[in-house]
Structure 1
């Protein structure tokens, strides 16, 4: 078994909000950078399925960022990751998802389960004393949730901050008021914020945002908490010697750090490559095309005929290919450019055409249920797939209804579904070895 109990005590806070759009992501990143600049070891986690925020949070903290979610990753893993971080961290920050009580399980559920106080970031723009009513509602909605401090974001003046502070009940204090500042403005697109590597001068922006927080008095550490967990068992080494080539560049970047670490723990050597710029695949037994933004790079993908030929040869040789969301899009025949309507020729591993939709087509946590385990994960896409190919199976939404299509075309497995690999190691081994384990 080789499991053990670990315990750690450190300062910790669950950064949350009444809903999306209150600025908690950049406040979390700025807090991480502020304390990092003060010489502290900061660990940050992201509640729920999200690829983009963790990219910025890693840059802000200088440490790896992992996703944590009571259902997708499981609470045992949540407790273990937090307790492990507490062994060395001076500060742990967990960025919540959506509003404090949104989702099942919610950010509040995790805060209660882990014993971490919730620290709401409330956008104070366009309100005055109502700030106190929102804080009061968040603090009183559940008896088992601890909310003792709040942050006012986007205040317009010292007097505005004073109104927010005076509106609070006696048992809730204002940790700080953050004035409106362009350092907290980060560009976004249809799937969320722009990828960290695409943001010019991101480090300078994070440093500037950290200084704003310091001037607002937000440089104090939150309360200490004690985190305890049992370490997980080591996964079986079912991928021993199976080399996996993983696409990673501006078009394919939606990769959970926990997924690659599981593949390595199962014995797989990993080789990263760029479908946009490389002309050949690494020498590998299997190929993973993760999600990302292929729709923004359709012409480049189409023009790289050498890479297209290499991926087609890999497929024709019967070597496994696993394609998620953006990876699925790239494996179809054509993609309609969202800018000018041009049809780009893609890898053509399966029949179909993809185009961007005017609104989000799917969002939510799902699972792929097989005899080799239940692979949990999520779906989140703005594109539509037209194909004559019938799905080999479907994922299941958490509420039990039918989810995303999963296609099989020779050695290719492709879906809009994003899997969290640690939930089903045997199934993951099957996907990359092409046979039952």
Structure 2
């Protein structure tokens, strides 16, 4: 029987009325402020997002994890929230065996996406509001106050009455023009909505985080990360009542471990770093008897390829994988590995450097021809193609897949995906259904005439995925594969799609054992 254990984890969700309200600036301001107070923060990002999550991790000095109710079940979301909040270098609190002793981090901050109630349909399914209810966290709303006063209170009041189970714990005003405007809005919100205004950010002369076609510039490509984080820290110090927000975060309902099926015995394993180390040593003793313990999977990770979920790395490591970072921007050849994982990113902003590194491309292409398993998502898919065409100029890529890509000025696809495996392939069993997401400005430049075709492969190629939702590569198909390559526009989260890690590890084991294509 599952034990019910209360865990009083201080936590807040940051949300707004819409995208572009200032959620990321507020989140980073709070994370830096909490850290200056000596607190350990577990940052989370709601929804499928890599860029905001990267900034949150950089600011917190801790990995950022994603919580998504479309790609993950509620139980998986809760379990991830518990496990990643509990793990750390040591628990706080006194007394042997107390629940306080299980809390390794001091506070969890979850940055929402879009507006508070925005989801996939008119009911707000999978919204930030739904996530806040699941983890029983108060919401701090940041509101763009441009050219408005009393109406701000009306909008907050509407959010309060939209769902009585969503608790709006506080409000931060953004884009405030004058002291008088702030005073009027503050009185209206606190008087009519009965929630505190915990800050007022004026119109900033300079945005510390410049944007481009996919949102914020990733920290890996930012010209001065430290300066931008210092700027948001100053915003927190000057304009936000951090102590008030900390108080709101602590006034939360205790979560019960029984809600996600975890047992008290499992929680004790997270109490300290020493326990973690002993647990890992025990696991390694078991794994060393298996070929899995010797598997080395390369990860192309640099400023060109940076879109990875931390959970995906951890799920591979749980299967005994050693991850080795590789960079086609800085290296001339592949190391000795049993598989390669290429995530998404911005190959288009690094097209010249990627095209000029012919030694690395030759090394990778040769490894692919001898059967190296390569799993590529979005930007990785583009890199494996023949070329990338930008502004009329062609940049040669790896040429492992006979397809070229162009780039448009607006998204070619943006949103959640559902795929069904409809063709036999080395990675996924037939009829498997997976939930993921896609976001890309690139598209295939036809024709795909030279790609090996097998029965059912579709126009010019072998495609394992049939799109039930989303666009994919072409004609409602995704998951292009050749030899042991699997390349797709669909990004998968390993907690919601454990088949991903299983398939990659299985292919790596087979390659290591045979050295031949699957």
Structure 1 residue 242: Cα displacement: 2.4
1 or 2, which has the higher helix percentage? Answer: 2
Using a 3 Å threshold, how does the CA distance of structure 1 residues 277 and 175 change in structure 2: closer, same or farther?
Answer: same
Partner residue of 2:384 out of 324, 331, 340: 331
Residue-by-residue CA offset, 1:287-345 (whole Å, 9 max, x unaligned): 111110001111211111110111101110012111100000011111112xx421011
Partner residue of 1:135 out of 156, 161, 171: 156
Which structure 2 residues correspond to residues 17-96 of structure 1 after superposition, within 5 A? 17-84=16-83, 85=85, 87-96=103-112
Which structure 2 residues correspond to residues 144-155 of structure 1 after superposition, within 5 A? 144-155=165-176
Residue-by-residue CA offset, 1:175-219 (whole Å, 9 max, x unaligned): 221122356531111112111132233233323322322333421
Structure 1 residue 391: Cα displacement: 4.3
Aligned to 2:369: 316
8 A contact 1:322–1:432 mirrored in 2: no
Q: Secondary structure at the match of 2:73?
A: helix
Q: Secondary structure at the match of 1:297?
A: helix
| 2:485 is the counterpart of 1:412 | yes
Q: Secondary structure at the match of 2:294?
A: coil
Using a 3 Å threshold, how does the CA distance of structure 1 residues 426 and 22 change in structure 2: closer, same or farther?
Answer: closer
Using a 3 Å threshold, how does the CA distance of structure 1 residues 244 and 190 change in structure 2: closer, same or farther?
Answer: same
| TM-score, reference length from structure 2 | 0.78
1 or 2, which has the higher strand percentage? Answer: 1
Aligned to 2:113: 97
Aligned to 1:196: 219
CA RMSD, Structure 1 to Structure 2 (Å): 2.7
| 2:249 is the counterpart of 1:223 | yes
Instruction: Identify the range of structure 1 (140-149 vs 289-298) with the bigger mean alpha-carbon deviation.
Output: 140-149
8 A contact 2:436–2:492 mirrored in 1: yes
Partner residue of 2:185 out of 164, 170, 173: 164
| 2:501 is the counterpart of 1:428 | yes
Which structure 2 residues correspond to residues 359-370 of structure 1 after superposition, within 5 A? 359-370=410-421
Aligned to 2:97: none
Instruction: Identify the range of structure 1 (209-218 vs 225-234) with the bigger mean alpha-carbon deviation.
Output: 225-234
Which structure 2 residues correspond to residues 376-387 of structure 1 after superposition, within 5 A? 376-387=435-446
CA distance in 1 between partners of 2:328 and 2:19 (Å)? 34
Who wins on radius of gyration, i.e. which is larger? 2
8 A contact 2:339–2:508 mirrored in 1: no
CA distance in 1 between partners of 2:20 and 2:444 (Å)? 30
Partner residue of 1:245 out of 295, 298, 321: 298
CA distance in 1 between partners of 2:341 and 2:4 (Å)? 34
Residue-by-residue CA offset, 1:24-53 (whole Å, 9 max, x unaligned): 111101111011111111221000000000
Residue-by-residue CA offset, 1:113-162 (whole Å, 9 max, x unaligned): 11111111101122222111111111111122111321111211221111
CA distance in 1 between partners of 2:383 and 2:506 (Å)? 21
| TM-score, reference length from structure 1 | 0.92
Aligned to 2:100: none
CA distance in 2 between partners of 1:297 and 1:400 (Å)? 25
Which structure 2 residues correspond to residues 267-286 of structure 1 after superposition, within 5 A? 267-286=320-339
| 2:137 is the counterpart of 1:121 | no
Using a 3 Å threshold, how does the CA distance of structure 1 residues 374 and 266 change in structure 2: closer, same or farther?
Answer: farther
Unaligned runs of 5+ in 1: none
8 A contact 1:368–1:396 mirrored in 2: yes
Residue-by-residue CA offset, 1:387-428 (whole Å, 9 max, x unaligned): 413342325455999965111112111111111123333443
Instruction: Identify the range of structure 1 (55-64 vs 250-259) with the bigger mean alpha-carbon deviation.
Output: 55-64
8 A contact 2:55–2:219 mirrored in 1: yes
Unaligned runs of 5+ in 2: 87-102, 120-124, 267-282, 422-428, 449-459, 511-518
